[in-house]
Amino acid sequence: MENQDLIKLVTEKAQQWLTPAYDAETQAEVKRMLDNPDKTELIDSFYQDLEFGTGGLRGIMGAGTNRMNIYTVGAATQGLANYLNKNFAGKGQISVVVGHDCRNNSRKFAEISANIFSANGIKVYLFDDLRPTPEVSFAIRHLGCQSGINITASHNPREYNGYKAYWEDGAQVLAPHDKGIIEEVNKVRVPDIKFDGRKELIQIVGEDVDNVYLEKIHGISIDPEVIKRQKDLCIVYTPLHGAGRTLIPASLKKWGFENVHCVPEQMVKDGNFPTVVSPNPENAEALTLAIKLAKELDADIVMASDPDADRVGMACKDDKGEWVLINGNQTCLLFLYYIIKNRIALGKMKGNEFIVKTIVTTELIKRIADKNHIEMLDCYTGFKWIAREIRLREGKQQYIGGGEESYGFLAEDFVRDKDAVSACSLLAEICAWAKDQGKTLYDVLMEIYVEYGFSKETTVNVVKPGKSGADEIKAMMENFRANPPKEIGGSKVVCIKDYKSLKQFDAEGKATDMIMPEASNVLQYFTEDDSKISVRPSGTEPKIKFYIEVKGAMNCPKCIGNATKEAEGKIAAIRASLGI
């Protein structure tokens, strides 16, 4: 589309927002964009409609069809309400849970959504203040609701907000309901949105749900005795201004940890995230204040949760006493290693247990599962897929843990999304178990590498914002499929998995079918030297992600330096091959 054609299109769309259907504040913002000679902001705000995808909405806040505002949130809620009323037409009272995080406008969007649901005859359980995403998932099942939403943009920068939609099993919506909801949302026009709520259908919840949730989380502790012996374990925790502040310190206390120190500056609820560049526990910078406090206290562990408290980041001391970050793959590895090893040691295995990881998460987890005769399942990125595996096996097999490389872990089955509340509590138990043996978390990680082999993972995010970026990402994926690499980083490609066509190709190009619940725009390359490269456009952010995993051997814990150096050389060669 020519630039002038695009400007004409967005101008026409924007002018529709100058009608009485929109409030004065919104109209003023749109008029400002229309009057600006530089049309970049106007184009980005109106070139498309913010898409209600299978995970809900996520975008920059502001006026426009491609922005998070009361009208895009309102249309999403009206569409979801319409679908619920159709799908559960024979039921008596349909009910939903509405939660939110600490972000700017999150409470406003949550209250507007609660009003819309109630205006459509749906009972709403609205949390009294910010709460972790996993508690919203828990509350849907606990309160017997048919759906739920959480207003959050997870770990995105401060200008973002989002809208997560859940189904009656407490998981994010899957087929066929995802497509059905999207169809209903796409039909909604602003005059269709019922903004005037029915107060009698909105019930405020809070501590009553918190208490049950925390009690259930306490029940997943594997070795309470080791906590009693190490109750003075020195823990530093930060919620990064977000929802973790409401429950994570309380959960640690309930588990028996008596020496927990919260970073005071970051215990303040603030959607501007004033103490960090980005509220993402994956970034080292976000843990700066926590590590500073940990050094002052000579702490044993640093843990951080993102704004909606579903992801956990961590740092610990290495063999030289220096603080190092534990990445998402290592986090998942440590959790599942501990769960499997100690459930076996304490006689808690019944023989029907299974674990789940995503296809881009480290393959070392499979080695651990295979050696210990535990079934491991691979699924797509996103906890709705882990939740699906739990649901399919409910009542037949016991889920004992699952996670993904992006710092998400779920240790229990009564929540159906990643859970930093339980993850932080279990992490503290792992550290207590290690300290009980005179070890650190770092020592445990080194033991895993010696026993199961060394693995190093790197994620490269190529950010492509706006319409032009979306077009570039699409072209990159098309090029990978049209011209599949024969070798990557000097090693022959022996297997290609294309999750869009659900075909797997060997080195000779022979295709076999893959069994997955649906197609997904992901490519994976496996090389002769046991490297794995996954390519996936993000579904929620304007970027394409490259996940690189290389293998090596470690004969002793002190061999980590050489193993890392060799792995970094392989990663550099892979990046050069891919031009990233």
* Residue 447 within any structural domain of the chain: no
Q: Are residues 89 and 149 in the same domain?
A: yes
Q: Are residues 54 and 35 in the same domain?
A: no
* Residue 449 within any structural domain of the chain: no
Q: Kindly list the distances between the CA atom of residue 162 and the CA atoms of 51, 213, 484, in Å, as whole numbers in the listed order.
A: 11, 24, 35
Let me know if 95 is a catalytic residue.
no
Could you tell me which residues are beta bridge partners of residue 98?
126, 149
Could you tell me which residues are beta bridge partners of residue 512?
504
**The residue type at 129:** D
Q: What is the pTM of this model?
A: 0.93
Q: Are residues 195 and 242 in the same domain?
A: no
* Residue 445 within any structural domain of the chain: no
Parallel/antiparallel/unpaired status of strands 511-513 and 523-527: unpaired
Q: Are the C-beta atoms of 367 and 453 separated by less than 8 Å?
A: yes
* Residue 184 within any structural domain of the chain: yes
Which pLDDT value is given to residue 540? Answer: 63
What distance in Å separates the CA atoms of residue 513 and residue 497, rounded to the nearest whole number?
Answer: 10
SS3 506: strand
Domain count within the chain: 4
What distance in Å separates the CA atoms of residue 112 and residue 453, rounded to the nearest whole number?
Answer: 52
* Residue 513 within any structural domain of the chain: yes
Q: Are residues 423 and 554 in the same domain?
A: no
* Catalytic residue (one of 45, 106, 147, 154): 154
Q: What is the CATH number of the domain that holds 464?
A: 3.30.310
Domain boundary among 152, 174, 205: 205
Handedness of CA 72, 164, 129, 284 (dihedral sign): negative
Q: Are residues 102 and 87 in the same domain?
A: yes
Q: What share of the chain is helix, strand, coil (3-state, %, to 5)?
A: 40, 20, 35
Q: Are residues 381 and 255 in the same domain?
A: yes
Q: What is the CATH number of the domain that holds 258?
A: 3.40.120.10
Q: Residue 484: exposed, middle, or buried by beta-carbon count in 10 A (0-12, 13-18, 19+)? A: middle
Q: Are residues 273 and 189 in the same domain?
A: no
What distance in Å separates the CA atoms of residue 438 and residue 410, rounded to the nearest whole number?
Answer: 27
Could you tell me which residues are beta bridge partners of residue 459?
547
Provide the residue range defining the domain that includes 542: 454-578
Domain boundary among 153, 186, 205: 205
**Of 215, 312, 299, which is closest to residue 254 (Cα–Cα)?**
215
What distance in Å separates the CA atoms of residue 473 and residue 545, rounded to the nearest whole number?
Answer: 10
Q: Are residues 237 and 290 in the same domain?
A: yes
SS3 175: coil
- DSSP letter at 418 equals -
What distance in Å separates the CA atoms of residue 196 and residue 544, rounded to the nearest whole number?
Answer: 40
* Residue 448 within any structural domain of the chain: no
Q: Are residues 352 and 294 in the same domain?
A: yes
Q: Are residues 260 and 225 in the same domain?
A: yes
Q: Are residues 173 and 97 in the same domain?
A: yes
* Residue 30 within any structural domain of the chain: yes
Which pLDDT value is given to residue 52? Answer: 86
Which pLDDT value is given to residue 1? Answer: 46
Q: Are residues 217 and 150 in the same domain?
A: no
What distance in Å separates the CA atoms of residue 469 and residue 22, rounded to the nearest whole number?
Answer: 30
Point out the residues of the chain with pLDDT beneath 50.
1
* Residue 544 within any structural domain of the chain: yes
Q: Are the C-beta atoms of 103 and 158 separated by less than 8 Å?
A: yes
**Of 107, 97, 103, which is closest to residue 134 (Cα–Cα)?**
97
